[in-house]
Chain A
Amino acid sequence: MYVSPQREPLIKGEKDYATITNDVTAPMAGKPGKYWFMGITISTTAFLLGGVATFFTVWFGIGTWGLNKTIGWGWGITNFVWWVGIGHAGTFISAILLLFRQKWRTSINRSAEAMTLMAVACAGFFPLIHMGRLLVGFFIFPYPNTRDVWVNFNSPLLWDVFAITTYFFVSLLFWYVGLIPDLGTIRDRAKKVWQKKIYGFLSFGWVGSARHWSRHESLSLILAGLAAPLVLSVHSIVSMDFATSVIPGWHTTIFPPYFVSGAVFSGFAMVLTLLIIARKTMNLEEYITIGHIESMNKIIIATGSIVGIAYLTELFVAWYSGVEYEQYAFLNRATGPYWWAYTIMMTCNVITPQLFWFRKIRRSLVATFIISIFVNIGMWFERFVIVVTSLHRDFLPSSWTMYKPTLVEVGLYVGTIGLFFTLFLLFVRVFPVIAISEVKSVLKTSGEKKK
């Protein structure tokens, strides 16, 4: 009789429920290692650098940036879109993969969701500081005011405000609701009184009653059902910031699906970059296995190929449309003064991820790590290419110009990277990186001992 090959186990090693609890809560009980201190020193330094750059921007104004009257959106918007995109993997893993009943998500969803929150926080910073006057940032929200002015609901920039705000809060709720049972587990394991107090406070009094679990299950499922279309809407709306304008290179109907798949693509790359390091330094190799990494690589190749097709479609439609402005925009992108940015984008997003068709490369840690960093770089350049090359040669040749970021802009970008890693390093210290209860629930069917 033919016996179909079994899937490789999601959790390696001879484990029972107690070992899972111990393995995941161990890093929280012990003292952090020297790598952690090194990491937090570097990332807080970067973060402080961003603080200095923020000070310069606020004190001297937006003139400290390299923007000019032709190129009004430079690194600021590039970084904003990049960070929002990175956030998408978390919700994709926790919501869409939950609806598709993908069990391998259980080992990675917690940290990916945390990355979503941190990335969205980094993203939200850029439009705010781009306003130049941070103090009136709240003007973007519709609130009754003495001037009797309301916001413009016709503008995609305002839709963005709603989309990003909703996305942040729904992700936060989803993440925290999933954390509650695990915080209860930590509270019951904590040895020190103050730890017990704090985790008891944060665990919302969770006791694991069957009634609570029943509600928790239906809550998670419906929240996933809500978050799935939400995550698709967020980057669609971000893409409309560009697509609803009449700038050649931006005015494209394929932008929403193209941006969404690009977002998932870059998000998974960032998840891989971080988890390959985290699994090693936190001894979680048996939970985040090569199988998990391979599954993520498969998503990278799927979304990366969609992105590649989108690039080619843009070129084809530019030619096929017969509009000379559209044709020039794309010719200039590929062969103009920013050809190098276009080349980096094409290489890192379209060519190198195709290496994942080989099983050996898909399952190699070193190769995955390098390619994931390539994707991070490539996706940043994609946004740079879209923002800057579409703007720098506008309708009036006398306004044609080039754009170069100043140190202040670089500092702001470095600062958000520092913030992201600082928050992530703090997260791995105080919260369980792996969803304990969810991993326990798949242990029987996907553990090493399964029949």
Chain B
Amino acid sequence: MKEITKYISAYYLDEEDLLSGIKKMQENNVKVLDAFTPFPVHGLDKVLGIRRSWLPRVGFIGGTIGALTGFFFQMWVFTEGYQMNIGGKPLLAIPSFIPVTFESAVLFAAFSMVFAFLFRSRLGLGAENKIYDVKSTDNHFVVVAGYEENKSDDVKEKMEAAGATIIEVKE
């Protein structure tokens, strides 16, 4: 979400009121930017039109790369890098490569997903995202709408009609 300086925020104390409230606001042509909640509210992404995350795909790709790296690296070590004759057994001992292949797949998948998540959400050590309201990490469900996009005077009434408890314009 792009950062905005001037915005209107509407507050709810219950996640179900939040969902129905946003729906009502959208029906009345209020352009809702984002919602900030203390915990994940199910159905909120549908209401706000957030697409399904690509993270599982990132994880799959990362895991595949990890598995291939792990497997082919072991293959290379045993056939080229450092051949070890263990009782005349075949150099390419595929069954004993399985554990390391699996572990590197999991390791790569986990790291790629977490980094993709942090990168995509602009989160990270010392990252400073705009805190629209500190109450949103406690017990308030905060709906934020841009001031410029909703200049008409009746926005406040529309938000009130949608059941919001407090409505504030902030900069």
A contacts, CB < 8 Å to B: 16-18, 21, 142, 148-154, 156, 158-159, 162-163, 165-166, 169-170, 173-174, 177, 180-181, 184-185, 187-189, 200-202, 204-219, 222-223, 226-227, 229-230, 233, 237, 240, 436-438, 440-441, 444
Residue among B102, B118, B128, B131 making CB contact with A188, cutoff 8 Å: B131
B7 within 8 A of A: no
CB distance A173 to B114 under 8 Å? yes
B44 interfacial by beta-carbon distance below 8 Å: yes
Would you call B166 an interface residue if the criterion is a C-beta within 8 Å of the partner chain's C-beta atoms? no
Is there a chain A Cβ closer than 8 Å to B104's Cβ? yes
Q: A153-B97, A166-B103, A184-B137 are in contact. Are A204 and B110 (CB under 8 A)?
A: no
Contact in complex: A159, B53 (CB < 8 Å): no
What is the bound-complex CA distance between A437 and B139, given in angstroms? 10
Determine which of B100, B117, B122, B137 lies in contact with A216 in the assembled complex, contact meaning CB atoms within 8 Å: B117
Which of A148, A184, A217, A222 is close to B59, meaning CB atoms less than 8 Å apart?
A222
Contacts A154-B93, A208-B37, A208-B136 given: A162-B103 contact, CB under 8 Å?
Answer: yes
Question: Across the interface, do A215 and B99 meet the contact criterion of CB distance under 8 Å?
Answer: no
CA distance A202 to B50 in the complex (A): 27
Q: Can you list 5 contacts pairing A with B, beta carbon distance less than 8 Å?
A: A173-B111, A185-B137, A210-B48, A213-B44, A215-B55
Say yes or no: A173 contacts B44, CB within 8 Å. Answer: no
Are A230 and B106 CB-contacts (below 8 A) given A208-B37, A208-B136, A219-B55? Answer: yes
Instruction: Select one of A162, A177, A237, A437 contacting B38, CB under 8 A.
Output: A437
Q: Is the interface of B mostly helix, strand, loop or mixed?
A: helix
Query: Does A207 contact B136, Cβ atoms closer than 8 Å?
Result: yes
Q: Which residues of A contact B77 (CB under 8 A)?
A: 142, 150-151, 153
Separation in Å of the B39 CB from the closest CB of chain A? Answer: 4
- Asked if A163 contacts B99 (CB within 8 A), the reply is yes
Q: B93: which A residues are within 8 A, CB to CB?
A: 154
Q: A217 vs B121: C-alpha distance in the bound complex, in angstroms?
A: 13
> Which single member of A149, A174, A237 contacts B82 (CB below 8 Å)?
A149
CA distance A154 to B89 in the complex (A): 11
- Contacting residue for A223 out of B48, B52, B110, B118, CB 8 A: B110
Chain A CB within 8 A of B109 CB: yes
Cα(A159)–Cα(B102), bound, Å: 10
Which residues from A are CB-within-8-Å of B41? Answer: 210, 213
Distance in angstroms between the alpha carbons of A21 and B125 in the assembled complex: 23
With both beta carbons as reference points, the residue of chain B lying nearest to A214 in the complex is identified as B45
Contacts of A149 in B (CB 8 A): 82
With contacts A18-B138, A153-B74, A169-B107 known, is A207 near B38, CB below 8 A? no
B67 at the interface (CB under 8 A from A): no
Q: State the CA gap A187–B45 with chains docked (Å).
A: 25
Is B96 located at the chain interface by the 8 A CB criterion?
Answer: yes
CA distance A188 to B117 in the complex (A): 22
Q: Is the CB of A222 within 8 A of B40?
A: no
Nearest CB to that of A211 among chain B residues?
Answer: B50
Within the complex, the shortest CB–CB distance from A217 to chain B, in Å, comes to 5
In the complex, which residues 117-137 of chain B have their Cβ closer than 8 Å to any Cβ of chain A? 117-118, 120-132, 134-137
Q: Quick check: B121 and A212 within 8 Å, CB to CB?
A: yes
Instruction: Please tell me if the beta carbons of B100 and A211 are within 8 angstroms of each other in the complex.
Output: no
Docked CA distance A138–B169 (Å): 58
Residue of B nearest to A17 (CB): B139
B68 to chain A, nearest CB (A): 15
CB contact list, B134-152 vs A, under 8 A = 134-139
Cβ contact of B129, chosen from A205, A216, A240, cutoff 8 A: A205
Decide if A226 touches B40 in the complex (CB within 8 Å).
no
Judge if B36 is at the interface, Cβ distance under 8 Å: yes
B39-A222 in contact (CB<8A): no
State the CA gap A152–B85 with chains docked (Å). Answer: 11
A205 surroundings in chain B (CB, below 8 A): 122-124, 126-129
**Are B138 and A188 in contact, CB atoms less than 8 angstroms apart?**
yes
Q: B122 near A440 (CB under 8 angstroms)?
A: no
A152-B84, A219-B55 known; 4 other A-B pairs, CB under 8 Å? A21-B137, A189-B134, A205-B128, A206-B123
The reply to whether B123 and A204 form a contact with Cβ atoms under 8 Å apart is: yes
8 Å CB contact of A170 from B86, B100, B107: B107
By the criterion CB–CB under 8 Å, are A226 and B106 in contact? yes
Q: Interface digits, B21-60 against A, CB 8 Å rule (1 contact, 0 not)?
A: 0000000000000111111110011001010110110010
Q: Are B82 and A150 in contact (CB under 8 A)?
A: yes
Bound CA–CA A229/B101 (angstroms): 13
A231 to chain B, nearest CB (A): 10
Question: A156, A219, A441: which has the most chain B beta carbons within 10 Å?
Answer: A219
